Amino acid sequence: MITKRQIELLMKLSEKDDGYQTADELADYFHVSLRTIYQDISYLKTELDNHYATIKAISSKGYCLQIINKEKFQIYMNNLFNNYYQKFHFDDPLSRNHYIIMRLFTTKKSFLTQTQLQNELYISKSALSADLKNVKQLLKEYHLELFYNPHSGLQIRGSELNKRILILKENIQFQSMNQITQQNFNKEITIIVEEVLNSHRYIVSDVIFQSLIIHVELSVQRMIQGSFVNDEEIEEIKEDGTEYLIALDILTRLSKKFGFPLKKSEIYLLSINLLGKKNYDEDDVISQELNDFILEELIKINHEYNLDFTCDLNFRIALALHIAPMLKRMQYHMQLTNSITLNVKQNYPLAYDIAASIMMGIYESYGYKALDDETAYLAIHINLCMEQDKKMAEPKRVLLICPNRKSETLLLTQQIYRRFRQQIQDLSITPSYRFSDINLTDYDVIFTTEEQVVNDTIQAIHINYFLDEKDYLRIELALNGINDVSQLKNYFDDELMYFGNAEDKTEIIQLLCLKAERKYALKNLNEQVMRREEIGGTYYGNFVAIPHPEQMISNDTFIALAILKKPIVWQDNHNVRMILLVCIEKNNARALQLWYYLSNLISDENLVKKMIKARNSNEFRIVLDELQKMQ
């Protein structure tokens, strides 16, 4: 009897018309051995003998599905596809919920009875009742209602626009087409959209184009079913604009192709979608409101991260050209999907964090909440600017602010020079009562022995008059940054490590914050970290989460570590076993380089697996040493 994996393997082979897929590719896709793939292919060859298709194998190319009779094979695949859903997916509550929504959207009658759903799902009345409760809750998140009439049955009520948003965001799959018909449907739509864009010389990126195709496919499927967006749901668009003319051209061709009526509201909707996906260039007019918003956000970044982009005109323009269409997408719930979001978070964690901060600003100013995928696209732009702004390490001009007279700071200056003579070009000293008269921009690094000075200027880094190892580490970080992965281990402290279990992320964050607050005499760290959690996700893939405070509130840079015996759910059903609570010291931009070296750690799946197995601080540090050897 054919297995679930074999059905999925056949579906995978049917994705490419006359295209070959190697055994290695298939084994990697299904996470099985080559031997298993060979066995499954052998079984499928026998199975297909009676169903008008075969699998051709060429040693240098791989496997290819060849169809002998398309019509009869299509019937076979349709039955197989339905059987796949009924037999292999209905034991999963989430899949049942998606099936119920799909059936309510696609039923030819306006209502669907509970008895029908019970028979299709092969579940009891009580089980269906529990599923319907979950469906009702999910629909509520999209401002939709699960209406029940005891005589007629169930129906989803609400705006068509919200229904489409639900279908896209929850990835609701329709069974109205089998695999092959769906491929042809996709191909025909893609050809028409491509032709129209080319005829209008309208340029979009590959990612934007694929997103546009997904939107058009769903719209056409819904219109074929007789479901249209109402006029009052969509704002009117100038009918002489490029986007309107393109939308009109696309939908006119598609309506003739698939036989659905052409509605102006659908043309407006596609126009808005195009406006949210267009490539803005420097000839486009950016509103003064958006310009002011970007400047405010850059000032905030300078304050929170000690990174000054306010005078970088090219970056401000690039940011505006990216954010302008993004706001339009966010307004109409058409945010982009991004297959490399986790890669961006792992490789550019600092850029992602800055992007999340800007997204919070957008939420506060415009009321639009960003998905992680959109944040990742913004992070790519920010990282590009940061890479261009990097400076080579060179001797620094240092200012030391002390309450003492110059003659009384001799010991302190000697201690600094003894360790860092090669990194210091000039060391100036001034009493604290005079620092307000000094042009601070003349100095690369500013140190002070007074806490009040730290509070008065965002540039000053606090050190003690009698330097200890923490102070030396702080000075080295300010002068040199982190320029070697071996330095990463200096920021892990055994007192800030936890190995055990936790109920949820709130508990483990509170535990780590409490340890850090006690050691570094911090206040409100837990509150700051939880506020950052509200801004955006801190799950970074590979079972790793990196919570951190919304603002830099510490005089020290450190990492608190938790390794859990059992995983906990962090966000979006992602499981986490390693938590790195990262605190970057305030007023020290070079300390932000810690994020770069953390990216080396969290992006190495094998290294993370070894760390998760650590039972104590010694075992963890042994694995951490492996990272140094790999560099």
Mean pLDDT of the chain: 83
The string over 263-283, giving b where at least 16 C-beta atoms fall within 10 Å of a residue's C-beta and e elsewhere, is bbbbbbbbbbbbbbbbebeee
Q: Which residue has the higher pLDDT, 96 or 278?
A: 96
pLDDT in tens, 68-127: 888 888 888 877 776 665 554 566 787 788 889 988 988 767 899 999 888 877 788 898
Which part of the chain has CATH 3.40.930.10? 485-630
**Strand, helix or coil for residue 562:** strand
Query: CA torsion sign, 83 to 84 to 88 to 91?
Result: negative
What percent of the chain is predicted at pLDDT more than 70?
89
Q: Which residue has the higher pLDDT, 57 or 468?
A: 57
**4-81: what CATH class?**
mainly alpha
Alpha carbon distance 301, 140 (integer Å)? 36
Alpha carbon distance 546, 534 (integer Å)? 14
pLDDT, position 392:
42
Which part of the chain has CATH 1.10.10.10? 4-81, 90-169
Q: Are 359 and 378 in contact (CB under 8 A)?
A: yes
pLDDT, position 311:
81
Q: Give yes or no for residue 484 having a pLDDT over 70.
A: no
Alpha carbon distance 537, 75 (integer Å)? 44
Q: Which CATH architecture has domain 90-169?
A: Orthogonal Bundle (1.10)
CATH 3.40.930.10 fits 485-630, yes or no: yes
Which part of the chain has CATH 1.10.1790? 179-275, 288-380
Q: Tell me the residue length of the chain.
A: 631
pLDDT in tens, 608-631: 889 999 999 999 998 888 776 655
pLDDT, position 185:
83
- Quote the tokens at residue 553: 């509130």
Q: Give yes or no for residue 590 having a pLDDT over 90.
A: no
What beta strand segments (E) does 350-444 contain?
396-402, 424-431
pLDDT in tens, 390-399: 544 578 888 8
CATH 2.30.30 fits 179-275, yes or no: no
Q: Which fold has domain 288-380?
A: PTS-regulatory domain, PRD (1.10.1790)
Alpha carbon distance 611, 590 (integer Å)? 27
Mean per-residue pLDDT for 388-413?
Answer: 69
Q: Are 522 and 554 in contact (CB under 8 A)?
A: yes
pLDDT, position 482:
62
Q: Which CATH architecture has domain 396-480?
A: 3-Layer(aba) Sandwich (3.40)
What percent of the chain is predicted at pLDDT more than 90?
28
Alpha carbon distance 151, 335 (integer Å)? 39
Alpha carbon distance 553, 388 (integer Å)? 28
Q: Give yes or no for residue 283 having a pLDDT over 50.
A: no
pLDDT, position 282:
47
